[in-house]
A and B are shown apart, each in its own frame.
Chain A
Amino acid sequence: MHGRPRKAPKPEDEAASSAKAQKLRALQTQFFSFHHNKIYTKEAVELSAKLLEINPESYTAWNYRKLAVEHYLNLPDCNPDSIKSVLDDELRVVENALRQNFKSYGAWHHRKWVLSKGHSSIDNELRLLDKFQKADSRNFHAWNYRRFVAESMKRSEQDELKYTEDMIYANFSNYSAWHNRSVLLSALFDKKAEGFLLKEKVLPEEYEFIHQAIFTDPDDQSGWFYHLWLLDQTVTTDSPLLASSWPGHGSDVLLVGDRCYNGSAFSPFSALHSDSGSFPIVLYFNQPVRGVNSSTVTVECGFNKNEDLLWKPLSASNSQTARVWVAHLKVSSSDLHSTVEVSVGHTKGIISTRGFEYSHPSMLSFKVHVQPMERDSSQVSVAESISLREENFKVYGKQSEESIIDSFDQLIIKNGHETTASNWRFEALAKEIECFRELLSLVDCKIGKLTLARLLKAYDAMSYPFANKLVHSEEVLELYSDLMKLDRTHYQFYKDERSIVLLQKYKDSVSSAICGPICLRLNNLSLSRMGAFEKLLWVQMLDLSHNELQSIEGLEAMQLLSCLSLRNNKLRSLTALEPLRKLKLLRILDISYNQIGDHSIDTTRYVCSSPLSHSVGSELNRDETVTSDVALINNWEAFYIFKDFNLNQLDIVGNTIADEKFKSVLVKIMPKLKQLDGKLLD
């Protein structure tokens, strides 16, 4: 069934298949005439059965049979016996068709449809399934149908679990069986069924079970998939948690009216330029959630309850689910000092994608100080071109370095209530780590290395808030470097993963990279992907130049960014800049020396639904006056990306796309732009 090479057809086979095709064509012609004329006589229905027996893929024939069944069931002289005989006929036709091709979608679907009529005995179905699953134990159609049958029969999940076990014992190389196991266990966990109340009791047994498969044959991938599911079950807490926020709890925020920060007594991390007197509040959850709004999250500023505060999800797709949520709080200019209290989850309604309620209400409070405007900000921006050159990253005093490092984690929210509950998770991970170290001592195994890296990462992430150190990061980096060498096909994937680990352990190397109070320099690190955003919410000026970034997914979380350099990276398309659209404070952007325009086909278009999804398209159409411009229509991607930007300065030189014509389009899209590629604009 599996792993057998396909043989080239012999001449006699080809002759047979062309004879079959001839017969099929004749049948089909006749069938279509019956179908179009709505003829449901016995002969006509039998003809369709004959057709389906030869070609079970004929969807039209299945649909015709459905119509015929409905036709018979609606006859006035219809009685329970005749209904049964009509439906039994259907089951027989399906069975014959499945015998011809047991992977026929149409046939399986038709069977479900007949069964759902509720007149046929379901007990037969398990017998039929046993036959099919014996013939091909991995046939996912059969497994899928089995779930349907088990549910209709109200067969217990425990019985089905036993069945998957038997199938796995017969041959553990069975994706379908492992998958069904994960589905069944999830259901049992959700139900809190007896014996499945505590994950910490069930998961170790499952780990033990999967180890048998993985150690016996590490090359077989089916077991690894199940292991990945177990790992997820171990690591992911059911209810979502708040991971970090800006402003951090207990911090002081200084709102200054102009860009020239003049060294006040406040922590440099929380000084923010604000023209409008408003500032963003960013909530970063550990998993995507929905339902963040002014009733689930209350923001009190003095006596102001801010009930009209609008929370927006920050996600690449325009869904209402996101890990990061932002709201813009306006401070009244009369209050120079005020205390803001944000309480999250005191009212129910924040729910994770997996359906779990946010259940650990937390409270953040911080102080906001407003420094009145001293100079006209627009004047400054025009006069000086702000760039990320070396001199702008002033080396911060040595003596205060320690405090910088400490405050680096100030945004992280420690969820103390999780410690005791997580003990078993630590133990499970520690055990797995030991287990896979052993495996790797026996065999050189790519997926084993990847799994170990994942385990170590998960262990570090779980212990981080308490241990304050990523103990395994060096080992993880080494594993990914190894994998990049061993498995060139997935080089980019490993590099991306490695980049994120590199960023996570950033704290350890921060002293050399952090140069200014609100500036972060992450250049020349060979990063191919950005990560660790939950720690970087405070950054206002970010230098990512001279890396290998192809995507800046997730950057939308950094709401305070006003100045960003992506110079000398590997961005390949304008749509890759999508996350930047959500950064309302971004004024200065350097995307020079990338690969935008090198590749005529922007593959992200097809991979990600986001930039060109229908919702986006409709948004575009509203602005008809602009889209009527021919130049803009031809550059509608640029229009879509840049039209929402409030940029003062843009560097785009060194990209194939950036010819004079394109630049003139950009100027048209962004009328506020003051400087393009170092040249002042009128």
Chain B
Amino acid sequence: MDDIPPYPPIDPTTFDLIVIGTGLPESIIAAASSTASKSVLHLDPYPFYGSHFSSLPLADLPSFLSSHSTSPSPPRSPSSDDPNEFSLLEFATRPLYSSIDISTFSPNLLDQHSRKFNLDVAGPRVFFCADKSIELLLRTGTNQYMEFKSVDATFVGDNKGNLWSVPDSRAAIFKDKSLGLVEKNKLMRFFKLVQGHLAGEQDIKISEEDLQSPFVDFLNKMGLPPKIKSFILYAIAMADYDQEDTGVCRDLLKTKDGIDQLALYNASIGRFQNASGAFLYPIYGQGELSQAFCRRAAVKGCLYVLRMPVTALLVDKDTGCYKGVRLASGQDIFSQKLILDPTFKVTLPSGSSPPLPLKEKLPFFSLKDDKGKIARGICITKTSLKPDISNFLVVYPPRSLFPEQVTSIRLLQIASNLAVCLPGMFVLYISALCNDDDQGKKLIHAVMNTLLTVPLDSESNAAVQSETAENGSAVQDETSESSSGGPSDSGEEKPTLLWSALYSQELTLGQVDFICSTPMPDGKLNYNDLIDTTFKIFQEIYPGEEFFPETSLENPEGDGDASPET
């Protein structure tokens, strides 16, 4: 970013819409607006697509994270010396990542091959084969820019390092070795009830009263044993918070929503012939998704300029209305509408009314509490957590690792066959919702200590690498010592950690007002909520326009393409 390339001036200088940042919501909006025949300029200060949704080479990830972790620079006062009829409104950046903690235990190996890695900044994340993102990809023909493989299984983990397969289908229940006969019967009957309900069968309808009650109460009413309840709530319905502790639970799942989640999961299994599980993962990482929508936008005439930071907003001197942006190259570009990625914070000129948070303006906004954070971890190992299977999801339900664990922790292992790492290596993405950085670290470490061997002679490395988070390494040392005391109960050799990155991410919501800004990656496993939000932002800026009208289908036979390669 320091050396701004000598770009030729952008021509034309006026657009319908300027989008800053190439994260997923921005990219979808750019593609949707271009499809609606709007002229769009899409800018990104970085040389790659995806912003906070990107997949980065190993060496680039720490610098990207730390560039977004500095405390906000105090906004300079609007420069009044501008000769035009505009006043300049400088951007302030928002710190989005904190407690960044990078540890390298095998520097040579990893540094030399940094570019062989495509690490997701917003992991763990997958596509459900039948979710909204897949529908959107198919509907818009964007799937032609991506290839997928199946995530083969889901497991539930415990504090002893065991991974229990989740009996998520009839065949899986039959095969499962850990469930008793009675449990199998109860679980299958529950699935049948849900299926019957969804199929609208008359005699097996779940009552409206039950649908409005908490899902966990309904599961209790069905007489499901705790183990199965936990499978359904956290590994199939993917609930975030402890559903049985209303004191800490911030997203008590209603039966209706739980059933919808089960329906999504059920529809996902077997949707594509060569995907054995419910989930897909894109080859080259999740960053491909944003890039694919950018391509889709470019085909429709959207203009792309990467490595182009924006320095200030241009605001009408009299009305205070948005007019355009000033680029780092010094050029001023004008547009009717502006979409900003969540990095930017706009300080309004004194006297104008403060922007309403998106949540209040759009009450249907479904993003989670913006006060919370999400702790993320990326680990690289040389051995799979489970032999014979390389791509899978693990869920640690609340209280499964330690009593104070109030949120689910999810872990996604992706192998080199998805072109995210060196051959023979595995990338583990871990995430959990948390209130603050310390709580988040504790959650991620709990999983790492259960599953991985963390080399002890790493202090120096860790200290060198963790530039920004001073107390992060202290936490790391503390926990790794405690884990070295007890040998793993599973008896098998735990994979050794080669490299890890731990960080906390803000759950910033978007806002729709004077300026629209897009949300950060949420704490969910898929993109459903983000796509809903993106759709609403699009509707807000272009209320009359259709969001990817059916007729825009360029590739009507593209249906099969979304199925993963074998």
Minimum CB–CB distance for A454 against chain B, Å? 19
B185:A442 contact, CB within 8 angstroms: yes
- B170 is contacted by which of A217, A218, A439, A442 (Cβ under 8 Å)? A217
- The total of interchain contacts (Cβ-Cβ below 8 angstroms) comes to 41
The digit string for A207-225, where 1 denotes a CB below 8 A from any CB of B, is 0000111011110000000
A148 within 8 A of B: no
Q: Which of A52-60, A168-176, A181-189 contacts B (4 or more CB under 8 A)?
A: A168-176
The digit string for B263-291, where 1 denotes a CB below 8 A from any CB of A, is 00000000000000000000000000000
B175 within 8 A of A: yes
Minimum CB–CB distance for B256 against chain A, Å? 26
- B182 is contacted by which of A170, A172, A218, A442 (Cβ under 8 Å)? A442
A435 within 8 A of B: yes
B171:A443 contact, CB within 8 angstroms: no
Measured CB to CB, the nearest residue on chain B to A220 is: B170
B170:A211 contact, CB within 8 angstroms: no
B171:A215 contact, CB within 8 angstroms: no
A438 within 8 A of B: yes
B399 within 8 A of A: no
On whether A442 and B186 interact (CB within 8 A), knowing A211-B181, A212-B181, A215-B181, the answer reads yes
A129 and B110 alpha carbons, distance in the complex (Å): 47
B146 within 8 A of A: no
B186:A216 contact, CB within 8 angstroms: no
| B170 partner residues in chain A, CB cutoff 8 A | 171-172, 216-217
A212:B171 contact, CB within 8 angstroms: no
A212 and B186 alpha carbons, distance in the complex (Å): 12
| A443 partner residues in chain B, CB cutoff 8 A | 185, 189
Measured CB to CB, the nearest residue on chain B to A209 is: B174
B175:A169 contact, CB within 8 angstroms: yes
A524 and B188 alpha carbons, distance in the complex (Å): 45
| B188 partner residues in chain A, CB cutoff 8 A | 215-217
Measured CB to CB, the nearest residue on chain A to B167 is: A216
| Chain B stretch 154-195: residues in CB contact (< 8 A) with chain A | 170-171, 173-175, 181-182, 184-186, 188-189
| A169 partner residues in chain B, CB cutoff 8 A | 171, 174-175
| B186 partner residues in chain A, CB cutoff 8 A | 442
Minimum CB–CB distance for A136 against chain B, Å? 14
A170 and B189 alpha carbons, distance in the complex (Å): 20
Minimum CB–CB distance for B185 against chain A, Å? 4
B185:A218 contact, CB within 8 angstroms: yes
On whether A438 and B174 interact (CB within 8 A), knowing A217-B188, A443-B189, the answer reads no
A172 and B184 alpha carbons, distance in the complex (Å): 14
B182:A438 contact, CB within 8 angstroms: yes
A215:B182 contact, CB within 8 angstroms: yes
Measured CB to CB, the nearest residue on chain A to B187 is: A216
| A213 partner residues in chain B, CB cutoff 8 A | 174
Minimum CB–CB distance for B42 against chain A, Å? 46
| A216 partner residues in chain B, CB cutoff 8 A | 170, 173-174, 184-185, 188
B185:A439 contact, CB within 8 angstroms: yes
| A212 partner residues in chain B, CB cutoff 8 A | 174-175, 181, 184
| B189 partner residues in chain A, CB cutoff 8 A | 442-443
| Chain B stretch 180-230: residues in CB contact (< 8 A) with chain A | 181-182, 184-186, 188-189
Measured CB to CB, the nearest residue on chain A to B173 is: A216
Measured CB to CB, the nearest residue on chain A to B180 is: A215
User: Which of B181, B182, B189 is packed against the most chain A CB atoms within 10 Å?
Assistant: B181
| B182 partner residues in chain A, CB cutoff 8 A | 215, 438, 442
Minimum CB–CB distance for B269 against chain A, Å? 13
B181:A435 contact, CB within 8 angstroms: yes
A218 and B182 alpha carbons, distance in the complex (Å): 12
Measured CB to CB, the nearest residue on chain B to A439 is: B185
A170 and B170 alpha carbons, distance in the complex (Å): 10
Minimum CB–CB distance for B183 against chain A, Å? 9
A171 and B189 alpha carbons, distance in the complex (Å): 17
Measured CB to CB, the nearest residue on chain B to A217 is: B188
Minimum CB–CB distance for A599 against chain B, Å? 37
A215:B185 contact, CB within 8 angstroms: yes
| A215 partner residues in chain B, CB cutoff 8 A | 181-182, 184-185, 188
Minimum CB–CB distance for A340 against chain B, Å? 55
Minimum CB–CB distance for A213 against chain B, Å? 6
- A171 is contacted by which of B171, B181, B184 (Cβ under 8 Å)? B171
A442 and B181 alpha carbons, distance in the complex (Å): 11
| B173 partner residues in chain A, CB cutoff 8 A | 216
| Chain A stretch 156-174: residues in CB contact (< 8 A) with chain B | 169-172
| A211 partner residues in chain B, CB cutoff 8 A | 181
Measured CB to CB, the nearest residue on chain B to A168 is: B174
A458 and B181 alpha carbons, distance in the complex (Å): 23
A172 and B173 alpha carbons, distance in the complex (Å): 11
| A217 partner residues in chain B, CB cutoff 8 A | 170, 174, 188
A323 and B119 alpha carbons, distance in the complex (Å): 76
Minimum CB–CB distance for B187 against chain A, Å? 8
A217 and B192 alpha carbons, distance in the complex (Å): 9
Minimum CB–CB distance for B184 against chain A, Å? 5
Minimum CB–CB distance for A212 against chain B, Å? 5
| Chain A stretch 290-324: residues in CB contact (< 8 A) with chain B | none
| B181 partner residues in chain A, CB cutoff 8 A | 211-212, 215, 435, 438-439
A217 and B189 alpha carbons, distance in the complex (Å): 8
The digit string for A423-434, where 1 denotes a CB below 8 A from any CB of B, is 000000000000
Minimum CB–CB distance for A426 against chain B, Å? 21
A343 and B372 alpha carbons, distance in the complex (Å): 91
A172 and B176 alpha carbons, distance in the complex (Å): 13
B185:A172 contact, CB within 8 angstroms: no
A171 and B185 alpha carbons, distance in the complex (Å): 16
Measured CB to CB, the nearest residue on chain B to A173 is: B170
A438 and B185 alpha carbons, distance in the complex (Å): 11
Measured CB to CB, the nearest residue on chain B to A211 is: B181
Minimum CB–CB distance for B293 against chain A, Å? 36
A654 and B374 alpha carbons, distance in the complex (Å): 88
Minimum CB–CB distance for A93 against chain B, Å? 28
Minimum CB–CB distance for B199 against chain A, Å? 13
A406 and B177 alpha carbons, distance in the complex (Å): 51
Minimum CB–CB distance for B471 against chain A, Å? 50
Minimum CB–CB distance for B155 against chain A, Å? 18
A236 and B564 alpha carbons, distance in the complex (Å): 52
Minimum CB–CB distance for A385 against chain B, Å? 60
| Chain B stretch 443-483: residues in CB contact (< 8 A) with chain A | none
A218 and B186 alpha carbons, distance in the complex (Å): 11
Partner-A contacts on B (CB < 8 A): 170-171, 173-175, 181-182, 184-186, 188-189
A–B complex contacts, Cβ < 8 Å, 24 sampled: A169-B174, A170-B171, A171-B170, A171-B171, A172-B174, A211-B181, A212-B174, A212-B175, A212-B184, A213-B174, A215-B181, A215-B182, A215-B185, A215-B188, A216-B173, A216-B185, A216-B188, A217-B174, A218-B185, A435-B181, A438-B181, A439-B181, A442-B182, A443-B189
- A-B residue pairs, 8 tightest by C-beta: A215-B181, A215-B185, A216-B184, A216-B174, A215-B184, A216-B173, A216-B188, A172-B174
Partner-B contacts on A (CB < 8 A): 169-172, 211-213, 215-218, 435, 438-439, 442-443
Supplied contacts A169-B171, A217-B174, 15 more A-B pairs, CB within 8 Å? A169-B175, A171-B170, A211-B181, A212-B174, A212-B175, A212-B181, A215-B185, A216-B184, A216-B185, A216-B188, A217-B170, A439-B181, A442-B182, A443-B185, A443-B189
